[in-house]
Structure 1
Amino acid sequence: MAEAVTDIWSWWTNALTGNFGPIHDGDPQQGYYRTRFKDKPWEPVAIWFEDGKWHAMRGERQIDASDIWTWCCRNPITYEAYTKAIEGGGWDDEPETTFGDNKPTDLDPYQALLHEFAAEKEQAEAFMKKPITTQAEADRAAIWSKRLSTIAKKATDLHKVEKQPHLDGGRAVDDKWRGLKDEPDAISKQLKRHMDAFLQEQARKERERQAAARAEADRIQREADAARVAAEKAAAQNDNDAAAVAAQNNAIAEAERLAQQAAQAERDAQARNASAGRTGAKVSLRTFVFAEITDFDALLMALKDRPEIKEVVETLANRAAKSGVELAGMAIRSEQRAA
């Protein structure tokens, strides 16, 4: 009986359709594959049996077929894809490497990452000008997204490393001066609160004094008005009699005196703020305006159209939705997005 002919390509051809055969260490299968190191581009791999032994190439490097097998076996590729990659044409499902062998070597980490991002950004933005219509294009978009998020993470890490000495130095300075900043300020405020009762009592006495001064000013003003009327009458009756002239002059003088006294009384009736200390170190009562909430529901309705209130409510609603709690006035919705 003739021996059955074994198709040495069968494992690979079946794998191309998603039908993977048994996988064992040290048991490579002839075909074309690809593999890569973490966060590095794909590299084409060829495995074949010749002259009684297994051979393998990873890119342009000859390697041990048994060693590479389990690293590439789950990534079979067509011969056409292998040929394109080995000739430097890249992969249909992966964006081109932005620098390759032309990456500048004299840049600091910031400049190097900036150049890398600029190149990735240019290609990604050009790619997004057309809709995705194939699986390969979707795969490229996913890989681009990963590359850009990796750049963002590198930037975050490098930023942290560069900034950390400044943060440490700033914290040391803060720690050094914190006590001399915070404690004197706290005691200063305590002293002001300690004066509140005294100054409030002084303000009460001032209100009483002001009320009395106002009453006295009104009384003097009435007397001044009466003296002015008397002086006007005396002037109207003036017949050049010496006694009449003297009476008129006396009435005018009294009216002027009372007018000056009334003006002084008016000034005395002005409010005087209760204070303590001296110029440059004076403390006085000041009016601080604040809200006392007397009806929370009514106030919330009055503020409901404010953007900051809407933002807070939306944040709380999203938190409830993620917890599976549906509150009155909201509905839990979901949508699928690339992530």
Structure 2
Amino acid sequence: MTAVSIGALAASIVNRWAWWQNALKGNFGPMHEGEPQQGFYRTRFKGGKWEPVAIWLDDETGKWVAYRAGREVDPGEAWNFCRTHPITKEAYDGAINGQPFPDEDETVAAQVAASGHNSGEVDRADEIADQIEAALAGMKAYAKIGDDATAAKALSLRNRLNELSREADKKRDELKRPHLEAGKAVDAKWQPLVKKAKAGADQVRDAIGAWETHKLQEERRRQREAEQALLAAEQAQREQQADVAVMEAPAPTVAPVETAPSPIKPTYGKAASVKVVTVVKDVTDWPALAVYMSAHPDMQTLLRQLAQRALDAGRTNIPGITTEEKANVR
């Protein structure tokens, strides 16, 4: 073989890895189904564990060869599913030896690898509980995240916890649904009766309340008239004594006696008490009311929520607040 042909062959061999080497850097070249590129990759079935894939062109046969997790597979089909997931040779070797990929959370990798192996003797709720506890214990590694690789692994653990949460909730819903349907049937029969009778009772209550309010207003009117009459009598007495040399102390006035409304006693059922309360009739000055209530914790919470809603809607220059940019992981 001439020097030229040897050099061409060497270049050809080197170039077989070029696509994969560039893909490792995020520079993916043209990809065509069934036309593999030599390199190391990984793939998985939906919801399953990642498995290492090696693809190369056999020099002796001139045919493509592919192995997935140590078993020979169709090169074209393997390429179709692994081509967007190149991995390093070191990651491939580690995975072949049973180690998780460097960017995988160990707890997640172990749980995914063991999924589907329940013998049936273990209650699924207990199994999920154990997996959740293991995943929560793994959170210690991500108490503080200092690089993108750790953030990606932490996200895997978060996704696993969400997955376990959804599975547990799905099972809870499945077991609870028959009871809910039975409850709905009971409600459909009895709730209309409950609501109809309660609505009637509330209507009667409101009518009684209107009458008691009318009596209260009349009593307040009589008290005001009595106070005005008393003041007028005192004024007249002072005017009559204006020419008297020796002024006598005025007689003490007696304020009207406040009496609580009497309870209502029916001939059937329990008695009802009547309590005088003061209620807001109307708001005449919204800004003044807002300032007065602004120190209340509930008001502050509401204002904070309204301010955030305004920010979310794109509003700017909202007075009375400071803002900061924050990365929100969804």
Which TM-score applies when normalising by structure 2? 0.72
CA–CA distance in structure 1, aligned partners of residues 86 and 156 of structure 2: 18
Cα distance in 2, alignment partners of residues 272 and 116 from structure 1: 63
Matched, 1:19 2:27: yes
State the match for 2:87 in structure 1: 77
1:98 is paired with a residue whose SS is helix
- Following TM superposition, by how much is the alpha carbon of 1:338 offset from its aligned partner in structure 2, in angstroms? 4.0
The CA deviation string for residues 254-302 of structure 1, in whole angstroms up to 9 with x for no partner, is xxxxxxxxxxxxxxxx988374632635456543443334543333222
Task: Give the Cα–Cα distance (whole angstroms) in 2 for the partners of residues 135 and 303 of structure 1.
Answer: 46
Q: In the alignment, residue 63 of structure 1 is paired with which amino acid?
A: V
* 1:188 match: 201
Among candidates 303, 318, 323, match of residue 293 of structure 2: 303
**Which position in structure 1 is the counterpart of 2:125?**
110
Superimposed CA distance per residue, residues 148-171 of structure 1 (whole angstroms, 9 cap, x where no aligned partner):
222223233333333333333222
1:316/1:185 CA distance change after superposition, 3 Å? same
- 1:273 corresponds in structure 2 to 262
Give the count of matched residue pairs: 279
Shift of 1:49: 2.4
SS of the residue aligned with 1:320?
helix
> Partner of 1:92: helix, strand, or coil?
coil
C-alpha spacing 1:92/1:275, structure 2 compared with 1 (3 Å): closer
Unaligned runs of 5+ in 2: 223-258
Q: How does 1:153-164 map to 2 (within 5 A)?
A: 153-164=166-177
Task: Work out whether 1:119 is the aligned partner of 2:134.
Answer: yes
Shift of 1:81: 1.2
- Does structure 2 conserve the Cα–Cα contact (< 8 Å) formed by 1:31 and 1:46? yes
Conserved in 1, the CA contact under 8 Å of 2:261 and 2:274? no
Structure 2: how far apart are the matches of 1:272 and 1:17? 84
Aligned to 1:42: 50
Q: Does 1:146 align with 2:137?
A: no
Match of 2:181 in 1: 168
Q: Is the partner of 1:291 in helix, strand or coil? A: coil
Q: Tell me the equivalent position of 1:87.
A: 97
In structure 2, the partner of 1:137 is 150
Supply the distance in 1 between the matched residues of 2:151 and 2:262 (Cα, whole angstroms): 75
Q: Contact 2:55 / 2:65 at 8 angstroms: preserved in 1? A: yes
Which 4+ residue blocks in structure 1 deviate beyond 4 angstroms? 195-205, 281-286
How well do the aligned residues superpose, as a CA RMSD in angstroms?
3.4
The AA in structure 1 aligned to 2:82 is C
Larger Rg: 1
Partner Cα separation in structure 2 for residue 98 and residue 139 of structure 1: 17
Which residue is 2:245 aligned to?
Answer: none
> Is 2:330 aligned against 1:330?
no
- Aligned residue for 1:251? none
Q: Where in structure 1 are there 5+ consecutive unaligned residues?
A: 209-269
Query: How far apart are residue 135 of structure 1 and its match?
Result: 4.0
Which structure has more RCO (C-alpha within 8 Å, separation ≥ 6)? 1
Structure 1 residue 98 corresponds to structure 2 residue 106: no
* Partner Cα distance (1:200, 1:136) in 2: 70
1:108-141 deviations in Å (ceiling 9; x for gaps): 332222111111111222x125x44444323212
Return the match for 2:73 from 53, 57, 63.
63
Distance in 1 between residues matched to 2:261 and 2:327, nearest whole Å = 69
TM-score (norm 1): 0.70
